[in-house]
């Protein structure tokens, strides 16, 4: 896929999700892989001769990741008819060699509220899902409570 298409595809997906959310639907989006999206940002940044930061990624990588993940949530739309919808983002990050100090992985971990770390050794032993519970976490304190996840956003 061309670099510009890789960079734009994630924005197209989340914009469609927001459209359906505003119609009152609950929309789930799989961002696979945000690592490839960040690679596209790095390539475009290099072509524009922007100043690189960690590992050649643009300095605004963390801000772009945050602006993407912050578009998820539940909203109550203003106006009539009354409607409520949500966007859920499941983002997959593939760190090179499983290195969690990679800039994309580190920036993502600082933003997301829930993290499931997959373990290659568990997958090789045919243990599925191969979630390593020792490195996985959730920042939510109440499970199943409708308002525990955070503020409700209101849009026209």
In sequence order, the β-bridge partners of residue 29 are: 89
Give the pLDDT of residue 49.
86
Q: What pLDDT was estimated at residue 153?
A: 55
- Percentage of residues in the chain with pLDDT exceeding 90? 41
pLDDT in the model for residue 26: 96
Query: How many CB atoms sit inside 10 A of residue 83's CB?
Result: 15
Question: Looking at the predicted structure, is the pLDDT value of residue 145 above 60?
Answer: no
Would you state the structure tokens that stand for residue 57, as one six-digit string? Answer: 């990624």
CA angle centred on 28, ends 86 and 119, rounded to 5°: 130
Instruction: For residue range 85-138, list pLDDT tens digits in order.
Output: 999 999 998 888 878 888 998 999 999 989 998 888 999 999 999 999 998 989
Model pTM above 0.75: yes
According to the model, what pLDDT value does residue 66 have?
Answer: 94
Give the residue-averaged pLDDT of 4-21.
91
Beta-carbon contacts of residue 133 (< 8 Å; ≥ 6 apart): none
CATH superfamily ID and name for 3-138:
P-loop containing nucleotide triphosphate hydrolases (3.40.50.300)
d(CA 31, CA 133): 22
Mean pLDDT score of the chain:
86
Q: What are the residue boundaries of the structural domains of the chain, listed by start?
A: 3-138
* Per-residue pLDDT, 154: 52
Map 81-143 to HEC letters. Answer: CCEEEEEEEEEECCCHHHCCCCHHHHHHHHHCCEECCECHHHHHCCCCCCECCCCCEECCCCC
Q: What is the pLDDT of residue 90?
A: 92
pLDDT digit string, tens, across residues 70-89: 999 999 988 888 999 999 99
């Amino acid at each position: 896929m061309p670099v510009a298409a890789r960079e734009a595809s994630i924005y197209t997906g989340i914009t469609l999700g927001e459209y359906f959310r505003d119609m009152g639907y609950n929309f789930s989006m799989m961002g696979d892989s945000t690592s490839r999206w960040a690679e596209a940002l790095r390539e475009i940044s290099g072509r524009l001769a922007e100043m690189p930061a960690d590992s050649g990624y643009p300095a605004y990588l963390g801000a772009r990741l945050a602006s993407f993940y912050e578009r998820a949530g539940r909203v109550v739309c203003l106006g009539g008819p009354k409607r409520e919808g949500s966007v859920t983002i499941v983002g997959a990050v593939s760190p090179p060699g499983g290195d969690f100090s990679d800039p994309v992985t580190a920036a993502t971990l600082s933003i997301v509220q829930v993290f499931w770390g997959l373990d290659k050794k568990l997958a090789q032993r045919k243990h599925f899902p191969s979630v390593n519970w020792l490195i996985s976490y959730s920042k939510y304190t109440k499970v199943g409570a409708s308002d525990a996840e955070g503020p409700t956003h209101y849009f026209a």
